[in-house]
Amino acid sequence: MSISGSFGLLVLLLSLAVIPGPSDLLVAGSAIKRGYRSAISATLGILVADLVFILVVVSGARIWLEYFSHYQDWFTWVSSGVLVAFGLWMLRAKISPADINSVTDAKRGFSFAAGFTITFFDPKALAFYFGVLPAFFDIESFGVGEVLFLILLVSAVICVTKAFYAWIAVSGTKLLPSPKAQTFLLKTIGVALILTGGWRLLS
């Protein structure tokens, strides 16, 4: 991949990253509910899902694009259901000091699974990896070095973006130390996830 191509890919990734999406809301909600460690677990789940997409797309982008196009409606329904489910979970959740001071393995596992699921069934992620990315680059001709560079670049953009949203969320909890105020923030994110899921079904 040339320097200009690498720069173009970085601009493409950043242009998508600056627009808040469901995974950003999930990371923010996890940070509000259980602090940075839970946000890191959610981010790892997101990274694994993106890694799966990259490995699949380099193995035959055109073949997989045709396959996923046949199940586009199904993915939209599943994606909407996942967003609504996590939104409802956040609506029912309440903040307590123990949540942030102690994060069990089970809770970290839940955050990881949530990050993976929301990303894996995200139509925007599918469109990017199987539609937009192959339109700009000959992905199927990538060598090992170029694939590793793509993975590192995507991972860096995701980590920086999610860290920013987690920082905003944790900063908000410090400005609003009351558990009721933090619970309100979490419920607001839950409503946003539910509305996003509903919008996908209607669009």
Q: Please state the domain extents for the chain.
A: 22-202
Can you give the pLDDT at residue 190?
A: 80
Can you give the pLDDT at residue 46?
A: 92
Can you give the pLDDT at residue 120?
A: 84
Q: Is the pLDDT of residue 154 over 60?
A: yes
More confident residue, 162 or 11: 162
3-state secondary structure of 59: coil
Instruction: Categorize the per-residue pLDDT at 48 as very low, low, confident or very high, splitting at 50, 70 and 90.
Output: very high
Tell me if 140 sits within 8 A of 61, measured CB to CB: yes
Can you give the pLDDT at residue 86?
A: 78
Can you give the pLDDT at residue 12?
A: 73
Round to whole Å and give the CA distance between 70 and 130. 13
Q: What is the mean pLDDT of the chain?
A: 77
Q: Is the pLDDT of residue 5 over 70?
A: no
Q: Determine phi and psi for 3, rounding to 5 degrees.
A: -65, -40
Q: Can you say whether the dihedral through the CA atoms of 17, 119, 75, 150 is positive or negative? A: positive
CB atoms within 10 A of CB 28: 27
Q: Is the pLDDT of residue 171 over 90?
A: no
One-letter amino acid identity for 54? I
More confident residue, 47 or 127: 47
Give the H or E element holding residue 65: helix 61-70
Closest CA to 159 of 8, 50, 65, 58: 50
Q: Is the pLDDT of residue 129 over 90?
A: no
The answer for residues whose C-beta is within 8 angstroms of residue 22's C-beta and 6 or more apart is: 83, 118, 122, 193, 196
Round to whole Å and give the CA distance between 27 and 94. 16
Q: What percent of the chain has pLDDT over 90?
A: 7
More confident residue, 52 or 58: 52
Q: Tell me what the mean pLDDT of segment 149-160 comes to.
A: 88
Round to whole Å and give the CA distance between 121 and 200. 12
pLDDT tens digits for range 59-114: 765 666 666 666 666 767 777 787 788 778 777 776 665 554 545 555 566 788 88
